Structure 1
Amino acid sequence: MAAPDTRPAAPAHRPERPAPETGPNGPDTGGPHRPRVCAADLLAFTERILTAHGLPAERARPAAEALCYGDLCGHPSHGTANLTRIYLPALAEGRMDPHAEPVTRTDHGASVLVDARRAPGLWHAGTAVDTAVERAQRHGVGLVSVRGATHFGCAGHHAARAAERGTIGIVAANCGRQRIAPPPGGLAPLLGTNPLSVAAPAVPGYPFVLDMSTTAAPTGRVREAARAGRDVPAGWLADSGGAPVTDAAAFDRGEAHLQWLGAGADTHSGGAYKGFGLGLAVEVLAALLPGAGLGPGDRGAAGDDGGDDAGAGRRDDDIGFLAAAVAPDRLREGFGADARALFSAVLSCPPADGDRPVRYPGWHEAELARRRRSDGVPLPEPLLRELDAVADAAGTAPPAVIGGR
């Protein structure tokens, strides 16, 4: 699936100027000076690379779409920067099996349990959502519970797949046995970022897509800041004593851990329990339910000291995720019209700042994707050099920079 396609039926609320940044966790608009590549060229390049590393053609295309979604929609921490950081190493090490066939372990019609058997998550998460939608269209609700999964990129990309078919989509995932964030008041990391996404039809072409980590920020955003030499906002990271840390590089040095959503700069405010509670809820629904790897499990294994990603405490193997869909038209008539009215009311809310009109989650991403399909996708020069090296190793052409470099 591609990023939300906004070309047909654009709403009347589109601003004349480009959509602004929406905050530290909002879409990255890329800035005016980054080199740009054609969106279709970036997608074709990513598909060629995944094929060269063993993915069958019928899997490489949807996997490439899932990965490029991050760059297209303003979430580069989950885009092609992860080719060399996550996906190619996982394929090379055998932690991801490009040919694995997921196996259905239990099927009760509306609910299904699947063992992904290390299949590429970028591809398999989409098929799980498709199954959930198909079951929802039959039973009103559909739930696919998955264990043995691998990293699947932006949860919002997959949840939006359900919204495109008129259903409400829910996607939640744990991070396997990865442990990077301690509970409030605790010293030992127990859970990963545990993302959660909910998507639904809204204004035509602009679906509602909530896509969030339950920590204050995903690890990719922290590493993105570290690569760029930028500090992160107070409230994202804290040291072992709970003091805020703004040096992004401290995370991978093992000198800081992620904070939970709601913690803020005051780590003793109690707000962290909201994010931690959501993180635990995701662990229950996405991992405990299917029997996937649990963050708090296997305590005392090597790597629990927060070392590099090769340590057991940093492994995101045996991920569990939930893909659920609700078919509102099976319950009542009029949902679509009511959804349009609801989200149109949000768009019509008088803004406090006339230059920053009110929008809902997913609107900015869809608008940004629309523009980037037309104007190109901005990529930082270091990433372009990385993709050049990947292309050279695979014997293929890298994505061409619009206007040259």
Structure 2
Amino acid sequence: MVAPETQQPSAAVKGGAGAPAPPAPVPEPGAPPEPRGEGRRVFPADLLAFAERMFAAHGLPPERAGAAAEALCYGDLCGHPSHGLANLTRIYLPALADGRVDPRARPRTVADNGASLLVDACRAPGLWQAGAAMDTAVQRAREYGVGLVSVRGATHFGCAGRHAARAVEHGMIGVVAANCGRQRIAPPPGGLAPMLGTNPLSVAAPALPDRPFVLDMSTTAAPTGRVREAARAGSSVPAGWLADSAGVPVTDPAAFDRGDAHLLWLGAGASARSGGAYKGFGLALAVEVLAALLPGAGLGPVGADEVDDRRDDDIGFLAAAIAPDRLREGFGVGAGELFSAVLEGPPADSGAPVRYPGWHEAEAAARHRRDGVRLPSALLRELAEAADAAGVARVAAPPANGGR
């Protein structure tokens, strides 16, 4: 699931508007295949401008619209299209339309203890609010060495990694953890009733120049976005992502939204009842404690008969920043040594060198700034329809010599 009140687009999204796209698509990490020739490349600046127009047309003030657009487009830019513009018409615009997100909500500080704050987001747009919370955490970390912002009443905020990585821009370590409100889509190991959501966790830290460490993970074997992405593409998912109520592996991703399958926990492997499932489930419960129980947000297992178990209302999240230089000198040098050593590790396959989390995303962002982001034809049609309905300009077409 990830922007301050007044923030210009980050370097990750700026640029690339004048470079020609390549003649053939570059595969996106985790993206379903699309027949050659379908879809179109769009430059990141044009994606950002389009998303900003759409959010503004749906009531977000200009500074929030820009920040929300930046956080949303981060998914496409960094090779995670399941958390990018594909969610504009599937998550964010419907939530704005039915009032689950208040575009002009004024988050309220409930408690302020200096290094730690409790904030009620009051259903503000999560794509903006999560970044604002991290920025506040960074400000407090400058003063106290650590800053923690605990938030309740929040809404879906996109890629957790984007928000955690904001701390790295200030030489700090960022931590973001979020529950899914009262959403229940995965049962405990050995249980039948779903109790928790995907409960994402992200840790970001300085590493090598332009290649920060960014761990961004769901505590289930896969996030729901990846499952639905596969369903839209008509492809199967690996055994170990889904299982039915009897614990039998399911590879048809459409079974998830039909209610015929649930997500498995990280570490479960192909068996819903393996002991390894307790790793992901335990992490999910830890996130529930830190992100939701702490601020008093909606708890997945509580009130099971009172709400729609697929709605992620009253999300709780934690945004923390740690200023390592307040503790000791030499953190940056040590980080360089640590991550250089990782990259120098001997690979099992000489064609696939060892990398750390965040490296591939940085590579994808650099490639997309240069060549543009490929949007599938079906998504382009969805976005065009939404743009026409909102009365705003569609996604900008690529140059005449652009790619597909």
> Fold match, TM over 0.5?
yes
One of 258, 262, 282 as aligned partner of 1:253: 258
* Runs of 4+ off more than 3 Å: 1-7, 18-21, 26-34
Specify the code of the residue in structure 2 equivalent to 1:333: E
Q: Does 2:204 correspond to 1:199?
A: yes
SS of the aligned residue for 1:333 comes to: coil
Q: Is the 8 A contact 1:29 1:368 kept in 2?
A: no
Determine the structure 2 residue equivalent to 1:38: 43
Specify the code of the residue in structure 2 equivalent to 1:350: P
Q: Does 2:145 correspond to 1:140?
A: yes
One of 104, 109, 120 as aligned partner of 2:114: 109
Q: Does 2:165 correspond to 1:169?
A: no
Specify the code of the residue in structure 2 equivalent to 1:391: A
User: In 1, distance between residues paired with 2:135 and 2:32?
Assistant: 30
Q: What's the offset of the Cα at 1:355?
A: 1.1
Q: Is the 8 A contact 2:13 2:369 kept in 1?
A: no
Identity of aligned residues (%): 74
Alignment of structure 1 residues 5-404 onto 2, 5 Å: 5=12, 27-28=30-31, 33=37, 34-301=39-306, 312-402=308-398, 403=402
Q: What's the offset of the Cα at 1:5?
A: 3.9
Q: What's the offset of the Cα at 1:266?
A: 2.4
Specify the code of the residue in structure 1 equivalent to 2:115: A
Q: What's the offset of the Cα at 1:20?
A: 8.2
Determine the structure 2 residue equivalent to 1:308: none
Specify the code of the residue in structure 1 equivalent to 2:365: A
Q: Is the 8 A contact 2:41 2:403 kept in 1?
A: no
User: In 1, distance between residues paired with 2:70 and 2:269?
Assistant: 34
Q: Is the 8 A contact 1:172 1:194 kept in 2?
A: yes
User: In 2, distance between residues paired with 1:6 and 1:353?
Assistant: 32
Q: Sort the Cα spacing of 1:404 and 1:351 in 2 relative to 1 into closer, same or farther, 3 A.
A: closer
Q: Is the 8 A contact 1:4 1:366 kept in 2?
A: no
Q: Is the 8 A contact 1:37 1:400 kept in 2?
A: yes
Q: Sort the Cα spacing of 1:404 and 1:262 in 2 relative to 1 into closer, same or farther, 3 A.
A: closer
Specify the code of the residue in structure 2 equivalent to 1:275: G
Q: Deviations over 1:46-105 (max 9, x none)?
A: 000000000000101110000000111111111011111110011010100000010000
Specify the code of the residue in structure 2 equivalent to 1:216: A
Q: Is the 8 A contact 2:13 2:45 kept in 1?
A: no
User: In 2, distance between residues paired with 1:337 and 1:28?
Assistant: 36
SS of the aligned residue for 2:257 comes to: coil
Q: Is the 8 A contact 2:13 2:48 kept in 1?
A: no
User: In 1, distance between residues paired with 2:104 and 2:274?
Assistant: 48
Q: Deviations over 1:364-383 (max 9, x none)?
A: 00110011011000111100
Aligned pairs, how many?
383
SS of the aligned residue for 2:258 comes to: coil
SS of the aligned residue for 1:383 comes to: helix
Specify the code of the residue in structure 2 equivalent to 1:45: F
Q: Sort the Cα spacing of 1:134 and 1:185 in 2 relative to 1 into closer, same or farther, 3 A.
A: same
Q: Is the 8 A contact 1:349 1:358 kept in 2?
A: yes
User: In 1, distance between residues paired with 2:219 and 2:380?
Assistant: 30
TM-score (norm 1): 0.91
Specify the code of the residue in structure 2 equivalent to 1:218: P
SS of the aligned residue for 2:206 comes to: strand
Unaligned runs of 5+ residues in structure 1 are 8-17, 303-311
Q: Deviations over 1:183-234 (max 9, x none)?
A: 0010000000000000000001010000000000000000000000010000
TM-score (norm 2): 0.91
Specify the code of the residue in structure 2 equivalent to 1:281: A
SS of the aligned residue for 2:190 comes to: coil
Q: What's the offset of the Cα at 1:404?
A: 7.8
User: In 2, distance between residues paired with 1:28 and 1:64?
Assistant: 21
